[in-house]
Amino acid sequence: MARLLLVRHGESTWNARGRWQGWADPPLSDLGRAQAEAAAPAAAPIDAVVSSDLQRALVTAELMAAVLEIEDVHVEQDLRERDVGDFTGLTRDEIEERWPGVLSDVAASIARDPRFGESVEQLATRVNAALARLGATFAGQRVLVVTHGGVVRNLERSFGVEPDPLPNLAGRELRVDPETGAVEAGERVLLLSPEDVPVTVPKQL
């Protein structure tokens, strides 16, 4: 089995402003960089580091890898955040002003109107394929995987768990069968204490 620790990236500049990101690529804030470095020791021991291709995740992964003395970060594009379509760059208040009531059931809204981004099924298909690839590549290893809140929370829903909001540098342990790609859910993990380094808890997907 491959043991994967999926975690949400550090705070981005758009997290700090409450803007929905999706496939947009804002950088980490200074706080986000500090969060990544502070959280790294709690992830150990780690054999490899993998990241989404979006810079808020990739820079988080690179900073953590440096602390953990892991040389390379493997990039997996299919672990990027859910595409949020026309919500991209907007705050919750701005979304509600433009499309009243659309956030009461985001999944249903997206299913009705593809302008609002990827469906649950589309997100699950690409993420599950990425996890299967990681399971085969890193069989027998423990891997830190830096991804996004929407990715982790959608996985949790697929496990039958209604997820709580996911702070920065929090996530979930997974076990992936290297032959079948089957995924088993482990425990929620918090790598940072809010008392040590503040964290952002998104009110999004």
Predicted local distance difference test score (pLDDT) of residue 70: 97
> Domain span at residue 43?
2-190
Query: Is 71 an annotated catalytic residue?
Result: no
Domain assignment present for 204: no
CA dihedral (161, 28, 120, 190) in degrees, to 10, reads -10
Tell me how many domains the chain contains.
1
Residues counted in the chain: 205
Query: Each residue of 133-181: pLDDT tens digit?
Result: 999 999 999 999 999 999 999 999 999 988 788 999 999 999 999 999 9
Distance between CA atoms of residues 187 and 172, nearest Å = 6
Cβ contact 19:86 at 8 Å? no
Check: CB of residue 63 under 8 Å from CB of residue 33: yes
In a domain, 201, yes or no: no
Asked, for residue 202, whether it belongs to a domain, the answer is: no
Residues of the chain falling short of pLDDT 50: none
At 172, phi and psi to the nearest 5? Answer: -150, 140
Asked if the structure places residue 86 within a domain, the reply is yes
Is residue 134 included in any domain, yes or no?
A: yes
Candidate list 11, 81, 118, 156, residue with the active-site label = 81
pTM over 0.85: yes
For residue 32, is it within any domain?
A: yes
| Total Cβ atoms within 10 A of residue 200 | 21
For residue 81, indicate whether it is catalytic.
yes
On whether residue 162 sits in a domain, the answer given is yes
pLDDT value at position 200?
Answer: 66
Residue 199 lies in a domain: no
Q: What's the CATH number where 87 sits?
A: 3.40.50.1240
Residues 181 and 34: their CA atoms lie apart, in Å, by 34
Which residue blocks in the chain are alpha helix, DSSP H?
Answer: 13-17, 30-43, 55-68, 92-98, 106-112, 120-137, 149-158
